[in-house]
Amino acid sequence: MKIFDITRPLTSSSVVYPGDTPPRFEQEDRGLFLITDMQMNSHTGTHIDAPVHYLKVGDTIDRVSLPHLIGKCRVLDVTDWGSTITEAGLIGRIDGIQRLILKTSFSRSTEFREDYPSLTIDAARYLTRAGMFCIGIDSFSIESFICDGSVHRELLSHNCIIIELLDLSGVPEGDYDLIALPLRLTGLDGSPARVILTAREEDS
C-alpha cells in the first residue's frame, strides 16, 4: 500500500488566513522530558470545517460523522482551471463518488493570495445534489476571498464536510482511500487535522 500524507506541515511560520492568529509553539525542557505550549486558531493549517462553523447551529467538530471523512475518494486535478471551479467543469467527473479532493494550482504555494482557487455556488449546489459527503481543497478556503459565505452554507447545510489547505503537490489524479481525522475538540467549529490518502501500489 502506498501512503500520501496530504497534510501541510504546521510550524510557527505557517501562513494563515488574513486576520487569523499565527500559530505559536513554546517548547520547555523540564529535565526528564520536553513539553510544548501551543496557541493556534481552530482553522490553522490543514483543517476540517464543522457545520457549526458557518451555520452556527448543527454538528460541532467532535460530532462530525467520521464515515464522511473515511472511505473511497477521488482526487480531481484542476490545476489548469485558474481560480474558479464551476459546475460545468465537474459534470461527468464525479460519478460514483461521495468524497472529492480538488488539486489546484495552489498546492505548492506557501504565501497567501486573494485569487486562490475556490468553488462557485453553482458547483457547490451540484455537489450537494450529487450527495457528496466530503469536499477537500488545497487552497485556503473552499470559497473565494470576497464572499458571502453561501458556498460554505450550501455544503455544510447538506452535511458535506469541508477540508481545506491540503498539500496535493505529489498526488496524481485518481481514486484513493481517504482518512481525515480532526481532533475531538468538544463544541468547536473546526480543527487541525492529519489527512492521508492510500492506494494499492499497482493503482498509484
Active-site amino acid positions = 53
User: What letter represents residue 44's amino acid?
Assistant: T
Q: Which of 201, 169, 185 is nearest to 63 (CA)?
A: 185
Q: Which grid coordinates belong to 145? A: 476571498
DSSP code per residue over 70-117: EEEEEEEE-TTSTTEE-HHHHTTSSTT-SEEEEE-TTTT--S--TT--
Query: What is the Cα gyration radius of the chain?
Result: 17
Q: Please name the residues in contact with 118: beta carbons below 8 A apart, sequence gap of 6 or more.
A: 83, 84, 85, 137, 139, 141, 142, 143, 144, 145, 147, 151
